[in-house]
Structure 1
Amino acid sequence: MAEPLGQRVVVGVSGSLGSVTALHRAAAEARVRSAELWAVLAWEPPGGDLPSRGASLVTTWHRMASEQLMDALDTAFGSEGPGVPLHALVARGTPGRALVATADRSDDLLVIGAGARGRLRRGMWPSVSRYCVARACCTVLAVPPSPLHHSLTAIHRRNVWKLPLTTRSLAG
């Protein structure tokens, strides 16, 4: 594939609400800059890279990652698209490494979702945004979660635990 000549806005996509928020922000930045939008979904084989796994399994996982990326793009933009040239890239590897490797030019803009980070979450899952900020050679824009994200998470938690939902909790 030929190297693009213009500026790029690279965005990490997982399909989560936070990544869709980051995708919308990245599309807006690409429109302002007249840049290409590069949506990147990173994936790793379940259980890591084992030499005994067949090529058919790897192909299946890659196809599933591609479908997940297309679903996220469809959720974010529908049939209208982002309004800028869009490149969808499925990269094998950890999210941080894949994003930093893709946004490898100094004039790129790397957009990532900066999800809510509590102590427990920070201890169990490494922060992609911290990794990218520390290692990227370009500007990194960390997009905070949507204001509704916390409310939706709380409602989901109540549903999982089968707790009653009161409308008072939604008004605040």
Structure 2
Amino acid sequence: MAAAGQVVVGVSGSLASLAALRTAARSSGRVLVAVLAWEPPEGEVLHARNPDSAWAARCAREAAARLDRAFEEAFGGTPSEVTVVRRVVRARPGRALCRLAAHPDDLLVIGARARARRAVVRRQVSAHARCPVLTVPAPAFARRERRALRRATARDFAAG
């Protein structure tokens, strides 16, 4: 029997968000909605004063590529055993996640860095989510190991 609702996971490309993505994919019977929210680098206010549609389109393409890279890093591609919907949203991450996981039957999954000084998304999601929130901690690695893992690809871990 399939579970009700969907699993919405915030993806940024950080180790914590990759751990959240892998955890969210294990929710059997639910649609996995992977969300990467982005804003123009200069912020929405400055962009509104001097709009540049080509620049915004480029930022959107880069965000979509970052979401694709996250799936490549976490699984070596899109997992076949789960239905995946990829969403690239132009919005603040906390708002976008709460808007997409708006039903009580949904599950919202976010990653949490161990020593995050500014946990803005986590605080906003905790305060405004209308569904259960699962916070997945980032794996604990030494700084040198984190750098090496950042450069690794899924092929580096393949048996052979």
Band the TM-score falls in, shorter-chain normalisation:
0.7 to 0.9
Distance 1:26 1:139 in 2: 13
Distance 1:89 1:156, change over 3 A: closer
Percent identity at matched positions?
Answer: 43
Letter of the structure 1 residue corresponding to residue 65 of structure 2: E
> Match for 2:31 among 36, 45, 53?
36
Partner residue of 1:56?
54
RMSD: 1.8
Deviation, structure 1 residue 140? 0.3
Give 5+ residue unaligned stretches, structure 2. 148-160
The DSSP-based 3-state class of the residue aligned with 1:46 is coil
List, as ranges, runs of 4+ consecutive aligned residues in structure 1 with deviation greater than 4 Å: 154-157
The DSSP-based 3-state class of the residue aligned with 1:24 is helix
Deviation, structure 1 residue 117? 2.9
TM-score in terms of structure 2 length:
0.81
Partner residue of 1:162?
none
Question: Alignment length, in residue pairs?
Answer: 141
Distance 1:82 1:154, change over 3 A: same
Partner residue of 1:67?
65
Give 5+ residue unaligned stretches, structure 1. 1-5, 158-172
Computing the radius of gyration over CA atoms, which structure comes out larger, 1 or 2?
Answer: 1
Between 1 and 2, higher relative CO (CA 8 Å, sep ≥ 6) is seen in: 2
Letter of the structure 1 residue corresponding to residue 60 of structure 2: H
TM-score in terms of structure 1 length:
0.75
